[in-house]
Amino acid sequence: MQDVIQAAVGAGWRQDELLTAIIEVGEDLMLADHANAELDGLLKALRRKLER
């Protein structure tokens, strides 16, 4: 992770904006993972209902 930070700072990113972007990406990935898990649950329930 430190290598990514150093490369981004070297490319012109400020450290504070880079860390903010990394946190935001992490939050987005967490939300997407939650949404995928919720959708998987709904699809399983639908499949069970259709199998009846």
Beta-carbon contacts of 13 under 8 Å, excluding residues fewer than 6 positions away, are: 21
For residue 13, the enclosing domain spans: 2-51
* Claim: this prediction has a pTM higher than 0.75: no
Task: For residue 44, give Cα distances in angstroms to 27, 28, 37, 52.
Answer: 26, 24, 11, 13
pLDDT tens digits, residue range 3-31? Answer: 988 999 999 999 999 999 999 999 999 99
Total number of domains constituting the chain: 1
Whether the pLDDT of residue 52 is over 90: the answer is: no
Cβ contact 29:38 at 8 Å = no
Instruction: Report how far residue 20's alpha carbon sits from residue 39's, in angstroms, rounded to the nearest whole number.
Output: 28
pLDDT of residue 1: 85
